[in-house]
Structure formats: C-alpha cells, structure tokens
C-alpha cells in the first residue's frame, strides 16, 4: 500500500493539516463556546414561555442544519481544489482526504474533528448571541428555536459524520443514543455516499434530507446551474473520488 497513488494522496492530504490550522480551530472552538453560552442564556427562557412554537422552530433548524451540512459537503467534494486560499486547506482538504481514506476521520482527535465546523458556524452564532427574541412575536420565537438547534448541530457535524464511520459499540453512550433514536446520521444512511457513484447522500448531520434531495436530483440540478453560470466542471479536481473509484474497482 505504501507506494500506491491512494496512500500517497492520503498522506499528502493529511499532511495539509498544519499547526496554524489547529491554532485557528482552537480559537474558533473557544469563540464558539463563548458565543453559544451567551446565546443559549437568552434563548432558553424563550423556550419556556412558548414551548410549542419554539419546538416547531427547532425542528426547522434541525432540517436546516442537515441541509447546510449536505451543501458544504457537496461543495467541497465537487468544486475547487485544496490549493484554494483558506477554504482549500481548511475545508476542501478534509473532504478530499476523507474520500481517499474514509477511516482517517475515526483517528482525528476532538479538535481536528470539530474545529473547522465550529469555525463554519461562527457567522450564525455571532448574530445568535446578539439576538434578544421577543416572546410575544411568533416569528421571533420560531427563529429562536431554529437558531438553537442549528447552532447546536452544525459545530458537531463532523462528530456525527465520524460516529457514522465507527462501529456502533465504539461510539460514546450519548452518540449511540442519538444514532439509535434516529436523531443523528447512522452508518447505513451514510454508507451510500461512499459507494459508486459517490454523488448521493451528502447530508451528514442527521441524513434526514438525503432521500428527498437525491430523489429530486437536487445536487445534479445545482451542478448544471453552476456549470452554466461559471463554466466550471463538477469534480474536475476530485482526487478523492478518483481514488475511491480505484479502490472500489480493485
């Protein structure tokens, strides 16, 4: 395996995880924890005053988080390259590495697993921390519920993805409960993404949006639109997919 294209690629991509990324991830995690603390301090009392409205909003946030996880995953699998500034090494690299060596995610520690996702959710959690919902406004309570679940799930999307790659009895008790109860992504749902044609099942938080999006051909429609507008070719630089196809053919 040492000299194969797949192994070299996996090593090269894994080596792209620099100390500077790790420091940025730790700063993002601390920033997220601080802002989320402020945010939930103001959102939780609203849930107590209008629980049903809040839960409806929370459900919308639950599905929105899954869709956004799929959108980011699809984008990083489909467009651009690891050479792109900032987005390339921090986000695209991790998804490409994942297709070259799907089990590598199970070896990542807490920071490498969750740092980039904490970074990605900052544009949502920052306004969330400044939001003071008025309990008499149905729209604001719905929004409060949606923000509460969205900002709780997105930072741990890679954690749910990691759990979907682990044997269920190796997952923590909390994770096992969330997977078995159907709240978070399970192994079988995610496994479809790692088999030919490697272009379905992008959503990795709960996986609840996958069937609908795949059935209506959402990602292929989005790819055609982007190709028409920009001229870019989907998966033109997809080192991960090529490697996965080679592995599958062996």
Residues found near Zn ion in the complex (CB under 5 A): 77
> Token match 């592995």: residue?
247
| CA–CA dist 111, 140 (Å, integer) | 33
Rounded least distance, CB 238 to Zn ion, Å: 10
Query: How many Cα atoms within 13 Å fall on the side-chain side of residue 39?
Result: 23
| CA–CA dist 61, 198 (Å, integer) | 27
Residues 170-184, buried b or exposed e (16+ Cβ, 10 A)? ebeeebbebbeeeeb
Rounded least distance, CB 58 to Zn ion, Å: 26
Rounded least distance, CB 4 to Zn ion, Å: 20
Closest CB to Zn ion among residues 63, 91: 91
Provide, for the chain, the percentages of residues in helix, strand and coil under a 3-state DSSP scheme, each rounded to the nearest 5. Answer: 75, 0, 25
| CA–CA dist 149, 158 (Å, integer) | 16
Closest CB to Zn ion among residues 25, 189: 189
| CA–CA dist 22, 38 (Å, integer) | 25
| CA–CA dist 242, 134 (Å, integer) | 51
Bond before 197 cis per omega within 30 degrees: yes
Closest CB to Zn ion among residues 76, 129: 76
Rounded least distance, CB 68 to Zn ion, Å: 15
Closest CB to Zn ion among residues 28, 203: 203
Rounded least distance, CB 117 to Zn ion, Å: 14
Closest CB to Zn ion among residues 77, 144: 77
Measured CA angle at 194 (ends 99, 76), to 5 deg: 45
> Token match 């990602």: residue?
219
| CA–CA dist 173, 152 (Å, integer) | 18
Closest CB to Zn ion among residues 197, 231: 197
Nearest to Zn ion by Cβ — which residue?
A: 77
Rounded least distance, CB 192 to Zn ion, Å: 10
Rounded least distance, CB 98 to Zn ion, Å: 6
Closest CB to Zn ion among residues 74, 150: 74
């Amino acid at each position: 395996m040492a000299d194969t294209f797949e192994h070299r690629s996996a090593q090269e991509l894994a080596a792209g995880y620099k100390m500077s990324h790790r420091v940025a991830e730790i700063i993002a995690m601390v920033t997220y924890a601080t802002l989320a603390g402020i945010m939930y301090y103001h959102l939780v009392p609203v849930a107590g005053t209008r629980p049903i409205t809040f839960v409806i909003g929370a459900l919308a946030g639950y599905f929105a988080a899954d869709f956004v996880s799929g959108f980011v995953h699809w984008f990083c699998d489909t467009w651009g390259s690891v050479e792109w500034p900032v987005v390339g090494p921090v986000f695209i690299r991790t998804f490409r590495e994942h297709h070259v060596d799907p089990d590598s995610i199970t070896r990542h520690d807490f920071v490498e697993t969750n740092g980039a996702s904490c970074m990605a959710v900052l544009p949502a959690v920052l306004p969330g921390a400044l939001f003071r919902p008025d309990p008499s406004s149905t729209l604001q309570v719905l929004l409060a519920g949606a923000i509460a679940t969205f900002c709780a799930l997105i930072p741990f999307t890679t954690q749910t993805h990691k759990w979907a790659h682990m044997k269920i009895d190796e997952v923590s008790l909390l994770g096992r409960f969330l997977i078995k109860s159907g709240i978070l992504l399970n192994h079988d749902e995610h496994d479809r993404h790692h088999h030919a044609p490697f272009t379905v099942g992008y959503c990795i938080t709960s996986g609840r949006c996958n069937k609908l999006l795949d059935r209506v051909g959402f990602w292929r429609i989005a790819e055609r639109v982007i190709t028409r507008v920009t001229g870019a070719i989907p998966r033109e630089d997809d080192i991960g997919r090529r490697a996965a196809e080679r592995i599958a053919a062996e």
